[in-house]
Copies of this chain bind each other. A is one copy, B any other.
Amino acid sequence: MTLASPPQTKPLSDEELRKMNAYWRAANYLTVGQIYLLDNPLLKEPLKIEHIKPRLLGHWGTTPGLNFLYVHLNRIIKKDDLNMIYIAGPGHGGPGIVANTYLEGTYSEYYPNVSQDEEGMKRLFKQFSFPSGIGSHCTPEVPGSIHEGGELGYSLSHAYGAAFDNPDLIVACVVGDGEAETGALATSWHSNKFLNPVHDGAVLPILHLNGYKIANPTVLARMSREELQSLFVGYGYKPYYVEGSDPEAMHQLMGATLDTIIREIKDIQEEARNHGFRKRPQWPMIIMKSPKGWTGPEEVDGKKTEDFWRSHQVPFGELASKPEHLKLLEDWMKSYKPEELFDEHGKLKPELAELAPKGQRRMSDNPHANGGILLRDLKMPDFQNYAVDVPESGKVVAEATKVMGNFLRDVLKLNQESRNFRIVGPDETKSNRLDAVFEVTNRTWVADTVPEDENLSVDGRVMEILSENTCQGWLEGYLLTGRHGFFSCYEAFIHIVDSMFNQHAKWLDTSRDIPWRRPIASLNYLLTSHVWRQDHNGFSHQDPGFIDIVVNKKAGVIRVYLPPDANCLLSVTDHCLRSRDYVNVIIAGKQPALQYLGMDAAIKHCTKGIGIWEWASNDQGSEPDVVMACAGDIPTLETLAAVDILRQNFPDLKVRVVNVVDLMVLQPPSEHPHGLSDKDFDSIFTTDKPIIFAFHGYPWLIHRLTYRRTNHNNLHVRGYKEEGTTTTPFDMVVRNDLDRFNLADDVIDRVPKLGYKAAYVKQMLHDKLIEHKHYIAKYGEDMPEIRDWKWPY
């Protein structure tokens, strides 16, 4: 472990320094302009109140630092012909990033209206945080962005995700010291234990010690230098400090530091690439300490502003009521000397414009930041080759995720050379029975090893860290830069990334309306070890509510699948891996379970997303007495077992069994593109017969999806109602009234024509439940006749 010594040289010539500082001033000028101005962008006339936006929005505090870094990264990109993208953790610094994309011409190329002239600058200023304009963060509309940064905490895991399998790429990632307090960020520093210098690119983390949050100092800014150094060395990095407020000294220091660091990155990579991986390197990082609101007003109304939290957002307002504020703004903006930066038409002067890299070397035009451009289809094996043989429905047993593992193994194998597919998860690939993948790859592991380790390798393509946040962040970064992936997780704990899912879904939703953003691969979740089979881990591990979060997002970007068996899971997985711009949620069990559909039937069923299972129904050629619907593997099992009970006891009862794979078919087509037409819905569910719906999740979701359907008033849904504990699998369904006996009982209660026998059967069902209760209290496991039930027809 080497400690960094600060570079002592002054690498910038006076000329270079002067120009770089001017470029930085230009970016700062454009930032302030975006926050404040409606008009008079070049300050050609004295600033008047009518030039000022009526609502002042935006974050100034972080932007001068972001802009400073941008101009320095531009220098080394040009100097060393680097392939680099920029992630701004403090995405609130949006106006700074937009300013830079404008200065280097990309913005006007993507948005010709915002041209590089006075009129364009005026539009640039006006549109910022303005209705029908652009947002205040690094939203999908910003060229070069893969990270909005509106919600904080995910910059570094995004950066690593982007760097994996992109050996040529350097991802510069600015981490705000506010953001650094979040949990997601605090653990993502450990991502360096998963980055292979041979095949992956480099991440250059830049901790921006800006000092303050909204109204508070930051924790990292108020630790001793000794502790700070120790913390990042402990995380495995070699910190270089760039600290100060004098622009000239800071330019030289940053220039020299970046020269050193880029050389170090290259050395690390060359060493590993020429001689093979030997040891996890101590990657360099920068700790940049600069004043918050640097170059902004030192004081406002006598109160410290620069280098204090008062610079966080708009440092001063009330321009209409306080004329001195108008003057303050004018002085501030003029301190950047716009006349030295832009010609009389508002175009950046050529001697400054030439500082920016050209074409796709511009960070704002790097194709990695519009990953859809680089996206190539996965080579896919034929999923039908992995089919479970199902000669008769409901008799064969298989483990769905194990079967899926075979398929994923070959997806990994076929794409091993193209290195564009990874699986992430919190240490559960094996527990979730996907371990066939270890036949062809390993877990990524760049930390220390011991001889007895199994399936660990610096080249592994399965990434496991006990941080759902990091898994999600890595995968998002990987997908956004044009690759494919898959996240397997315990169902209950995917809630840890609810908020990250929200942000990604919003990103996808917004991106769909941006013509130049090309579609990226979908984010695919497999939720397994699900609520119904957490009988052993108990109540804390039982929560099927992630779907409820998912369906809150725009129908255009979300899909939810509940394949009832292995062949359906194969079909759905194949579909999801080929899809674009969605979040696909697949919920499937890992335990041995009955198989219902042969491959052809499964494909047909999954393609429709819903179907009447004729083989399980006895209403052929007539209207049923009751519809028994189910979604999810366990509800399907219990529904079929209930049908068995009913058919044995009421041979004349006409039961229709409906299975739902694609939950979105239940919504009206006006709400979701997969929604069944009312006509089709009615033909499946009838318009007036009772429907008993056994659902995997919280029951009310089915009501929420179907409340506009004709027969909704006859819909009776059973699902998880937060009755859980450590018990047996069957007791779990009993506790939630989702078991075969309760479902049969629900039918009896709702079908009037069952006659004298109804009461007798109800008693029998009740007795069965009591018998089961006694059995498990004694033996601790389910009665064999229940556990081993098979479809008998």
Interface residues of A (CB under 8 A from B): 1, 38, 53-55, 57, 126, 129-137, 139, 148, 150-153, 178-179, 181-188, 190, 193, 213-219, 222-224, 226-236, 304, 308, 427-431, 443, 445, 447-450, 452-453, 456, 464-470, 492-493, 495-496, 498-499, 502-503, 506, 509-510, 536-541, 543, 545, 548-549, 552-554, 698, 700-701, 703-704, 707, 712, 722, 725-728, 731, 776-777, 779-781
Contacts and interface: CB of A to CB of B under 8 A. Distances in A.
A452 to B, nearest CB: 5
A186 B235 CA distance: 11
A213 B506 contact: no
A7 B129 CA distance: 60
Contacts of A448: 222-224
B131 A553 contact: no
A216 B438 CA distance: 13
A107 B545 CA distance: 34
A786 to B, nearest CB: 13
A193 B213 contact: no
Given A187-B182, A726-B134, A780-B130, A464 B553 contact: no
A183 B493 contact: no
A540 B503 contact: yes
A contact face: mostly helix, strand, loop, or mixed: loop
A499 B499 contact: no
B549 A135 contact: no
Residue from A216, A712, A731 whose CB has the most chain B CB atoms within 10 Å: A216
A700 B179 CA distance: 33
A189 to B, nearest CB: 8
5 contacts: A57-B726, A136-B537, A152-B466, A215-B429, A502-B543
A230 B234 contact: yes
Contacts of A509: 722
Contact of A54 (B464, B466, B552, B780): B780
Given A131-B731, A151-B493, 14 more contacts: A57-B726, A135-B539, A135-B725, A135-B726, A148-B540, A150-B538, A153-B183, A178-B427, A179-B466, A181-B466, A215-B430, A227-B234, A230-B231, A503-B540
Contacts of A214: 427-428, 430-431
Contacts of A233: 227, 230-231, 234
A726 B129 contact: yes
- Give the 4 A-B residue pairs with the shortest CB-CB distance, closest first: A231-B234, A150-B540, A183-B183, A230-B234
A55 B222 contact: no
Contact of A495 (B148, B193, B447, B499): B499
B131 A467 contact: no
Residue from A186, A449, A470 whose CB has the most chain B CB atoms within 10 Å: A186
A251 to B, nearest CB: 26
A244 to B, nearest CB: 17
Contact of A38 (B223, B447, B780): B780
B54 A427 contact: no
A235 B217 CA distance: 17
Residue from A178, A234, A554 whose CB has the most chain B CB atoms within 10 Å: A234
A143 B226 CA distance: 42
A545 B552 contact: yes
Nearest to A720: B552
Nearest to A428: B214
A657 to B, nearest CB: 24
Nearest to A553: B722
A307 to B, nearest CB: 9
B183 A469 contact: yes
Contact of A452 (B304, B450, B499, B780): B304
Contacts of A727: 131-132
A181 B304 CA distance: 40
A356 to B, nearest CB: 27
B218 A466 contact: yes
Given A186-B183, A445-B217, A549 B539 contact: no
Contacts of A701: 704
A506 B703 contact: no
